[in-house]
């Protein structure tokens, strides 16, 4: 059969399968779904503008994936194709970008954001260092990672900096105590008396508070001041 | 799901829309026995005994898409599975034939619309196919039909069997065969959209597809079929309502109708 709607459908089925094989399994919060609820992807009607074959979502980011069945990577920079990709984004304003997928061995893809044209530098507007064109999975996952960052579990100050924090805190508290003692010749008698009353116990108290904060534990400073009679 | 019982209006049938979405340029449509049985049950449910055969033949002719495609099946599907009197049933089971469902229908009548192609005794295609971690049987009827259509340039195949559909789709996607698979109900909706079927005919087939689900069918498969049938019936009902509304508006707005009635 020559190039007919029928043979294009079979080509589309095979390409859709390759795309699904490349994108599945998904990582993190990424979900990919076929746009059509039909038995197979039939794509756009003759003469209609580009339509999405798959939709990919990561948290609240949505991408429209369009298969350029039977077309090589040159089509990714074709001004007509980019214009229809823009039209697709206008029709789906909730989407951040359209992913055009060429029908080559690598499934070379291009991320098209609002207003992108053929002459644009092929880099993302979100982070300019992210390449917007390349093998499908790589390109899409890198783009998504700018939004859906794989944040590590937050660590405490003590573990993240590898400091001997208890020693540092203790040293800082004793230094502060010494400074207060040195400055006790205040012209205001009450202040001089207060400074003179500071002892090692106060330095230990300050050290304990600093360590509690460094361990990411909550400190009720008002309660602490009331309990120690330091207000 | 409810389907309105109507006397079928056969006028204007068999004329696909200009941009046909039911044949997709496929010059050949392979029909398996599950689809034929579905059509027969629909015909029997829609018409009295005496006219059910005519209903079935009308449904079959509509599949030709105004003569744009040839209808074919395998000898195994038509003779062995649909008209068991031609060959004894291999497993000795008590399966009905099309004649039991649509009284009076004869092999020759069906054969005059669908060409039966002789198939060999052995097939190259696998008996079992793995589809998404499930191992599915590729039944003899569908296997024989795929085999006879394998070398046909530009053929689609329609089945009412989800497993057969999944197996054929898998074989297409993995470049083993190049046939375009269609589920029965999908084809019915496309034919309705092309005006090859009336709303009553398409809805009746949807209704029967659900009513005739085997009790042993898995829950997942049952849900898949019911959901598809409901969606199609709903879309058909919506399309009909819109069409009627447009007709009313058009009538009200035409000068001959006097002033526009609101």
Q: Looking at A176-180, A196-200, B2-6, B176-180, which range is the least confident one? A: B2-6
Average pLDDT of chain B to the nearest whole number? 82
**Ramachandran area for residue A212 (φ above 0: left; ψ -120 to 50: alpha; else beta):** alpha
* CB B81 within 8 Å of CB B97: no
> pLDDT digit string (tens) for B18-51?
556 676 678 899 999 999 999 999 999 988 777 8
ipTM, 2 decimals? Answer: 0.76
Q: Which residues of B touch A40 (CB under 8 A)?
A: 169, 180-181
The structural domains of chain A, ordered by start, are 5-145 (3.40.1350), 157-227 (no CATH)
CA pair distance B154, A3, nearest whole angstrom = 10
CA pair distance B236, A81, nearest whole angstrom = 34
* CB A30 within 8 Å of CB A55: no
Dump strand ranges (E) for B34-140: 70-74, 115-117, 128-131, 134-137
pLDDT at A181: 75
The β-bridge partners of A54 are: A34, A65
B7-32 core/surface letters (b: 16 or more CB in 10 A; e: else): ebeeeebbebeeebbbbbbbbbbbbb
Contact A45 B19 (CB under 8 A): yes
Q: Which residues of B touch A10 (CB under 8 A)?
A: 172, 178, 180
Banded pLDDT at B262 (limits 50, 70, 90): very low
Q: Looking at A21-30, A200-209, B165-174, which range is the least confident one? A: A21-30
B-contacting residues of A 136-165, CB under 8 Å? none
From the CB of residue B35, how many other CB atoms can be counted at a distance below 10 Å? 27
Q: Which of A186, A143, A164 is nearest to A56 (CA)?
A: A143
> How far does B154 lie from chain A, in Å, by closest CA?
5
Pairing of strands B128-131, B115-117: unpaired
pLDDT at B38: 94
* CB B29 within 8 Å of CB B71: yes
Three-state DSSP at B248 gives: helix
Q: Please name the member of B25, B165, B173 whose beta carbon is closest to the beta carbon of A13.
A: B173
Q: Which residues of A touch B182 (CB under 8 A)?
A: 39
Three-state DSSP at B58 gives: helix
Q: Which residues of A touch B156 (CB under 8 A)?
A: 6
State the angle between helix axes of B219-253 and B184-193 in degrees (0 to 180), rounded to the nearest 10: 10
What value does the mean pLDDT take over residues A14-31? 85
Q: Which long-range contacts does A40-43 make (Cβ < 8 Å, 24+ apart)?
A: A40/A9, A40/A12, A40/A13, A40/A16, A40/B169, A40/B180, A40/B181, A41/A12, A41/A13, A41/A16, A41/A67, A42/A9, A42/A12, A42/B21, A42/B24, A43/A8, A43/A9, A43/A12, A43/A67, A43/A69
The residue with tokens 């090692």 is A200
For residue B128, what are its two tokens?
């079992």
The β-bridge partners of B116 are: B73
B-contacting residues of A 35-74, CB under 8 Å? 37-40, 42, 45-46
A19-46 core/surface letters (b: 16 or more CB in 10 A; e: else): beebbeeeeeebebeeeeeebbbbbeee
| Sign of the CA dihedral running B236, B237, B242, B243 | positive
CA pair distance A201, A209, nearest whole angstrom = 12
B-contacting residues of A 12-31, CB under 8 Å? 13-14, 17
CA pair distance B54, B64, nearest whole angstrom = 16
First to last CA, chain B: 33
Q: Please name the member of A10, A37, A45 whose beta carbon is closest to the beta carbon of B180.
A: A10
Measured in whole angstroms, the distance separating CA B129 from the mean position of its chain's CA atoms is 24
CA pair distance A76, A99, nearest whole angstrom = 10
Q: Please name the member of B19, B26, B183 whose beta carbon is closest to the beta carbon of A46.
A: B19
Banded pLDDT at B1 (limits 50, 70, 90): very low
Mutate to test the interface with B, among A2, A3, A4, A5 (most CBs of B within 10 A): A5
Nearest chain A Cα to B179, which residue? A10
> pLDDT digit string (tens) for B42-76?
999 988 777 888 999 999 999 987 777 899 999 98
* CB B158 within 8 Å of CB B189: no
Q: Is the pLDDT of residue A129 over 60?
A: no
Q: Which residues of A touch B231 (CB under 8 A)?
A: 37
Dump strand ranges (E) for B109-152: 115-117, 128-131, 134-137
Cis peptide before A25 (omega within 30 of 0): yes
Q: Please name the member of A9, A39, A46 whose beta carbon is closest to the beta carbon of B165.
A: A39
Q: Which residue has the higher pLDDT, A226 or A10?
A: A10
* CB B142 within 8 Å of CB B167: yes
Q: Please name the member of B21, B178, B183 whose beta carbon is closest to the beta carbon of A39.
A: B183
Nearest chain A Cα to B132, which residue? A21
Percent of residues, chain B, with pLDDT higher than 70 = 83
Give the CA distances from residue B178 to residues A12, A167, B108, B142, in Å, rounded to whole numbers and listed in that order: 12, 75, 30, 15
What value does the mean pLDDT take over residues A141-165? 68
> pLDDT digit string (tens) for A33-92?
888 767 776 665 545 567 888 999 887 789 999 999 999 999 998 888 988 999 899 888
């Amino acid at each position: 059969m020559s190039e007919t709607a029928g043979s294009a459908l079979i080509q589309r089925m095979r390409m859709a399968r390759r795309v699904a094989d490349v994108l599945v399994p998904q990582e993190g919060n990424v979900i990919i779904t076929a746009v059509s609820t039909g038995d197979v992807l039939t794509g756009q009607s003759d003469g209609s503008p580009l339509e999405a074959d798959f939709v990919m979502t990561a948290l609240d980011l949505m991408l429209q994936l369009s298969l350029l069945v039977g077309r090589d990577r040159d089509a990714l920079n074709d001004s007509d194709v980019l214009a229809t990709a823009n039209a697709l984004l206008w029709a789906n304003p909730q989407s951040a970008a359209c992913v055009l997928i060429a029908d080559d061995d690598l499934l070379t893809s291009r991320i098209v954001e609002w207003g992108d044209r053929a002459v644009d530098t092929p880099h993302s507007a979100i982070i300019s260092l992210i390449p917007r064109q390349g093998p499908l999975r790589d390109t899409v996952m890198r783009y998504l990672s700018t939004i859906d960052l794989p944040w590590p579990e937050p660590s405490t100050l003590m573990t993240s900096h590898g400091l001997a924090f208890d020693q540092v805190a203790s040293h800082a508290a004793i230094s502060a105590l010494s400074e207060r003692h040195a400055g006790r010749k205040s012209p205001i008698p009450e202040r001089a008396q207060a400074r003179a009353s500071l002892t090692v116990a106060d330095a230990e108290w300050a050290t304990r508070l600093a360590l509690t904060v460094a361990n990411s534990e909550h400190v009720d400073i008002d309660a602490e001041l009331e309990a120690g009679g330091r207000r | 799901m409810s389907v309105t019982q109507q006397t079928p209006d056969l006028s204007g049938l068999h004329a696909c829309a200009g941009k046909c979405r039911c044949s997709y340029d496929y010059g050949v449509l392979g029909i398996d026995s599950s689809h034929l049985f579905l059509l027969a049950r629909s015909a029997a449910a829609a018409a009295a005994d005496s006219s059910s055969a005519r209903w079935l033949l009308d449904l079959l002719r509509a599949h030709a898409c105004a003569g744009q495609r040839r209808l074919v099946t395998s000898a195994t599907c038509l003779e062995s599975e649909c008209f068991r009197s031609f060959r004894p049933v291999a497993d000795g089971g008590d399966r009905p034939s099309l004649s039991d469902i649509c009284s009076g229908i004869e092999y020759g009548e069906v054969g005059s619309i669908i060409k039966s192609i002789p198939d060999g005794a052995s097939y190259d295609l696998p008996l079992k196919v793995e589809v998404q971690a499930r191992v599915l049987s590729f039944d003899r009827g569908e296997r024989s039909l795929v085999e006879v259509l394998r070398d046909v340039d530009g053929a689609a195949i329609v089945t009412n069997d989800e497993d057969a559909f999944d197996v054929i789709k898998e074989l297409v996607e993995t470049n083993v065969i190049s046939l375009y698979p269609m589920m029965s109900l999908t084809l019915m909706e496309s034919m309705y959209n092309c005006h090859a079927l009336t709303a009553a005919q398409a809805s009746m087939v949807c209704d029967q597809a659900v009513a005739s689900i085997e009790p042993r069918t898995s829950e997942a498969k049952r849900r898949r079929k019911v959901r598809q049938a409901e969606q199609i019936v709903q879309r058909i009902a919506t399309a009909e309502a819109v069409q009627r509304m447009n007709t009313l508006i058009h009538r009200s707005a035409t000068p001959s109708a006097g002033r526009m009635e609101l």
